[in-house]
Amino acid sequence: MMEVKVKGLDEAIDNLKSLQNKLRELEGKHKISLDELMTKEFMKKHTKYDNFNEFVINSNLVPEDTVKITKEMFADIPDEDFDKYIRDNTDFQSWKDMLQTSTNEYAKRKLGL
């Protein structure tokens, strides 16, 4: 029988503990801004816009002279109209799909994956 020595287990255990701590931090409900979810990278990957604010302003679903989208403005956009805009201008079928994907990517970033 051959004897084999395995190295690096301490480092692997430390990495697993770190991941476990990060998972605990993500557990439960959190308030996360749309800017944290809809990062520049996310928006460039899934739309022709550089940021979420620009994306929404160009939807023509907010007042014409809008420079910065507020929570109130965003809440006033009819769901059906925003879903259609998303279908026509992203690779998502709805706001729910886009939000879920951005949330998943946010979690992966927080976990260091």
* Cα-Cα-Cα-Cα dihedral sign, residues 72, 73, 74, 78: positive
In the predicted structure, residue 61 carries a pLDDT above the cut 90: yes
The whole-number average pLDDT for the span 50-65 is: 93
90 or 23, greater pLDDT: 90
Backbone φ/ψ region at 8: left (φ over 0), alpha (ψ -120 to 50), beta: left
The whole-number average pLDDT for the span 51-68 is: 92
pTM equals: 0.75
- pLDDT tens for 21-43 read 655 665 667 688 888 999 999 99
